[in-house]
Structure 1
Amino acid sequence: DHCFDVVICVASIIYLDVPAFLQECRRVLKKGGVFVLNTPNKD
């Protein structure tokens, strides 16, 4: 728990259970950590 400074998700969130994914990110991210999210372009 709370062991990562950064969590990065690149073009894959559309394949995930979003609420569960975000809960897990919150669980593993250190206080003051950075969450980077990139989503694919619809085109």
Structure 2
Amino acid sequence: MYKCIRCGRPLRESYGTAEIECECGSRVFVKSRPPIEKEVIAR
């Protein structure tokens, strides 16, 4: 699930096209990720 970085609306278009634009005019989207903490062990 992707959402607009400016207004936060979810993406309603298909993936893989260069012409994707939000209703607010933004063309930058971020992928929503679940709030899971990850532990990284340094070597």
Q: Using structure 2 for the length normalisation, give the TM-score.
A: 0.24
Higher strand share: 1
Larger helix percent = 1
Query: Higher relative contact order at CA 8 Å, sep ≥6: structure 1 or structure 2?
Result: 1
TM-score (norm 1): 0.24
Whose radius of gyration is greater, 1 or 2? 2
